[in-house]
Amino acid sequence: MDILNIFINLVPITLLQGVIYGFVALGIMIPFRILSFPDLTAEGSFPLGGSVAAAAIAAGMHSVTATLLALLAGFLAGCATALIHLKLRLNTLLCGIIVLTMLFSVNIRIMGKPNQPIFAQDNLFDILLGDYARVLPLQIALIAGLLAATAILLLLFFKTEFGTAMRAVGANPLMARAQGISIWRHTILGIGLAGSLCAVGGALLAQNQSFADVNMGFGVLLNGLAAVIVGETLVGRDTLPRQLLAPAVGAIAYYQAISLALALGLEPSDLKFLTGAFVLLMLAIPSMKGQRQPVKMRA
Amino acid sequence: MLTATGLRKTFNAGTTNARIALDGVSLSLDEGDFAVIIGGNGAGKSTFLNSVAGEVTVDEGTLAIAGRDVTALPTHRRAGLVSRVFQDPLAGSAGPMTIEENMALASRRGLPSRLRFALGGKRRETYRQMLRVFGLGLENRLTHKVELLSGGQRQSLALAMAILTTPKLLLLDEHCAALDPKTAETVMQATLAAVENQRLTALMVTHNMQHAIDYGNRLVMMMDGRVVFEARGDDKKNLTIEQLVERFHLVDDKMLLA
Ligand SMILES: Nc1ncnc2c1ncn2[C@@H]1O[C@H](COP(=O)(O)OP(=O)(O)O)[C@@H](O)[C@H]1O
Ligand SMILES: [Mg+2]
């Protein structure tokens, strides 16, 4: 009974977490699933988004502009990873590690210190919710609405000629080239897009908790990947709408599962191990069954 | 329509694995020419087609398609001029995408992709008509994912995509070799019909000597990265398989003596 109570009490706050991390899950799904470009940059672009937003807001910038600035920064981080891969033909994971490690220094430079409080300033919630800025259900509704709008925009985007071309690059680069599609342009823009989504997630979290911390990205990639996998198990991924719905649903479900684990008495520090074990298991099942690898890399 | 002059390509140059794949290939096709390329394994046929498509950058030589020097252009910037069907039926289309999405990409081959919806209402009927030719029922499966199709269906789709917008040059690299005999025949007949109806200029690699004699107006034999025999028009028509095989050996013997 106690466990259930703790869990139920945690629901609102973990729902909010879920919808915020939904952006990150979307930003992780795109490289892994659509571009066949397994990418770790999220681990750096997420705190980058938080740092940029917090530093900009602390410096007096409007929170909407600050969030857009974070989006741009994340885009550039993604572009950097993609460019390194395309130029130097290094493994995509290594490119991501290089960029996310370098971003650690960049983030501290941006904030001028390892963390940046923004308690005193108006954030996105203050601006959009006014007097109700501290009402949790409204915060959840606001972010859930933004997340849904983002997923719908992405769905429309991936149905345009440009978005279709981007999907072709991930599915079959040889064929894409033969159709006149530039692998470079679409990979850079696609990974950039993914970076912006992660950065927006970071910017939203920073504003919600009223501070950014350079370490806020630690483990976010695996959480996001776990969320994507959970979502795909729940809603599938055989159509574009499902593939885009999965990260959002998965992020929400994943943070509920985390909260349940906490309610059951696990330490927060145990969760990284559990998440890792879960992802490992989900990746291992298809390969043990001899099915195709769930994470695809380009030939 | 195609002018290739003195193409040379060495793979892994400067290493112990160095392989001369093209050793000075020159070939010129007029508009409407349908050239069939034959030659043994490793003769350089695929490398030649790849260099025309842009997948292989040549070490020496020049390539012009429809009067444009494309030697320095990457594949995607030649796509407006060239289309191709690969030997591997999986290579020509994007598996996780639907038939109509693949067709939509092909309908914009070589054109910049815009922020407009890729699929529009009236295009569907065009796609249906193009796919009906193969008699495989593809026209009723436009919204199915391509990865669900059989090899023959997928290769038919690849051919339909390659000729959806008329290319200046069509490249076919043993595009029927991986198919069962019946499907191979269907795809070959559809190819011939398209070449004829759309008056395509085409380069087709085949290992089928009979096809080489029956189809096209030009015949090109390659060996060790060189063009070793050419025939056209009536000379080509009057060739027999025996003569071709003899030619092969003739060149073979010359090589041995050299
Ligand atoms: N990507 C490559 N790397 C190294 N060697 C290659 C490559 N592609 C082709 N070759 C070599 O070049 C030669 C010609 O190959 P290819 O053009 O595929 O011949 P064909 O299509 O006539 O059978 C062969 O010796 C082959 O091993
Ligand atoms: Mg070959």
Spans of all domains in chain B: 2-257
Pocket-testing residue among B8, B15, B19, ligand 1, by greatest number of atoms within 8 A of Cβ? B19
Note the pLDDT of residue A293.
62
CA distances for A5 relative to A97, A263, A268, angstroms: 40, 8, 18
Q: Which residue has the tokens 């796919």?
A: B131
φ and ψ at residue B36, rounded to 5 degrees: -105, 130
Residue B244's pLDDT is: 81
Cα–Cα distance, A29 to A224 (Å, whole number): 8
Q: Of all protein residues, whose CA lies closest to atom 16 belonging to ligand 1?
A: B44
| Nearest ligand to residue B23 Cα | 1
Give B9-50 pLDDT, tens digit per residue: 999 999 999 999 999 999 999 999 999 999 999 999 999 999
Pick from B133, B78, B77, B122: which is nearest to B100 by CA? B122
Higher pLDDT, residue B251 or A244 = A244
For tokens 């350079």, the residue is A214
Check residue A239 and give its pLDDT.
Answer: 94
Q: Which residues of chain A from 222 to 251 reach within 8 Å of chain B, CB to CB?
A: 238
Q: Is the CB of B46 under 6 A from ligand 1?
A: yes
- Which residues lie closer than 8 Å to A96 by C-beta, 6 or more apart? A39, A40, A41, A43, A44, A81
CATH class given for the domain over A2-282: mainly alpha
Establish if B120 touches chain A: CB-CB under 8 angstroms: no
Q: Which atom of ligand 1 is nearest to the CA of B47?
A: 17
Q: Which of B162, B189, B173, B220 is nearest to B29 (CA)?
A: B220
Considering only the beta carbons, identify the residue of B53, B113, B116 that sits closest to A178: B53
Report in angstroms the alpha-carbon separations of B135 from A55, A279, B191. 63, 45, 14
Closest C-alpha among A243, A191, A175 to residue B105: A175
Take residue A14 and report the two structure tokens written for it.
Answer: 């973990």
Contacts of A238 in chain B (CB under 8 A): 145
Residue of B nearest to A171 (CA): B94
CA-nearest of B45, B21, B19 to B207 is: B45
A159 touches chain B (CB under 8 A): yes
Q: Is A44 on the interface with B (CB under 8 A)?
A: no
Measured from the CB, is residue B145 less than 6 Å from ligand 1? no
Distance B24 CA to ligand 1 centre (A): 15
CB contact under 8 A, B118 and A174: no
> Within 13 Å, how many C-alpha atoms sit on residue A131's CB side?
0
d(CA B83, CA B78): 9
Angle at B172 between CA B171 and CA B178, to 5 degrees: 155
pLDDT tens across the length of chain A (299 residues): 688 898 999 899 999 999 999 999 999 999 999 999 999 999 999 999 999 999 999 999 999 999 999 999 999 999 999 999 999 999 999 999 999 999 999 999 999 999 999 999 999 999 999 999 889 999 999 999 999 999 999 999 999 999 999 999 999 999 999 999 999 999 999 999 999 999 999 999 999 999 999 999 899 999 999 999 999 999 999 999 999 999 999 999 999 999 999 999 999 999 999 999 998 988 888 777 766 666 777 75
The third-level CATH classification (topology) of the domain covering B2-257 is Rossmann fold (3.40.50)
The answer to whether residue B254 scores a pLDDT higher than 60 is no
Contact assignment for B118 to A179 by CB distance below 8 Å: no
User: How many angstroms separate the first and last alpha carbons of chain B?
Assistant: 35
Contact (CB<8Å) A163/B74: no
Binding site membership of B19 for ligand 1 (Cβ less than 6 Å): yes
**Dihedral in degrees, nearest 10, Cα atoms B110, A298, A40, A276:** 140
- Mean pLDDT (whole number) for B85-105: 96
Asked whether the beta carbons of residue A181 and residue B74 sit closer than 8 angstroms, the reply is no
Chain A interface test: which of B65, B107, B113 (most A C-beta within 10 Å): B113
Distance from C-alpha of B254 to C-alpha of B123, rounded to nearest angstrom: 55
Beta strand segments in chain A, E? 115-117, 211-213
ipTM of this complex > 0.95? no
Asked whether residue B252 carries a pLDDT value surpassing 70, the answer given is: no
Are the beta carbons of A219 and A272 closer than 8 angstroms? yes
Closest CA to B93 of B47, B149, B176, B172: B149
Residue B135: per-residue pLDDT: 82
Ligand nearest to the CA of residue B174, numbered in listed order:
2
What is the average pLDDT across B219-228?
95
B91/A183 touch (CB, cutoff 8 Å), yes or no: no
Provide the edge-to-edge strand list for the sheet that holds B82-85.
B82-85, B169-173, B202-205, B34-38, B218-223, B226-232
Query: Would you say the CB of residue B50 lies under 6 angstroms from ligand 1?
Result: no
For B199-220, what is the mean pLDDT? 94
Placement of tokens 């106690």 in the chain: A2
Indicate yes or no: CB of B104 within 8 angstroms of CB of A164. Answer: yes
**Any ligand 1 atom below 6 A from CB of B42:** yes
Containing H/E element for A242?
helix A240-263
The shortest CB-CB distance from A178 to any of B79, B95, B115 is to B79
Determine which residue's CA is closest to atom 4 belonging to ligand 1.
B11
The reply to whether residue B114 touches residue A162, judged by beta carbons under 8 angstroms, is yes
| HEC sequence for chain B | CEEEEEEEEEECCCCCCCEEEEEEEEEEECCCCEEEEECCCCCCHHHHHHHHHCCCCCCEEEEEECCEECCCCCHHHHCCCEEEECCCCCCCCCCCCEHHHHHHHHHCCCCCCCCCECCCCCHHHHHHHHHHCCCCCHHHCCCCEHHHCCHHHHHHHHHHHHHHCCCCEEEEECCCCCCCHHHHHHHHHHHHHHHHHCCCCEEEECCCHHHHHHCCCEEEEEECCEEEEEEEHHHHHCCCHHHHHHHHHHHHHHHHHC
Residue A210 CB neighbours (<10 A): 16
Does B115 contact A182 at a Cβ distance shorter than 8 Å? no
B149 lines ligand 1 (CB under 6 A): no
Q: What are B59-82's pLDDT values in tens digits? A: 999 999 999 999 999 999 999 999
Whole-prediction pTM value? 0.94
CA distance A150 to A183: 25
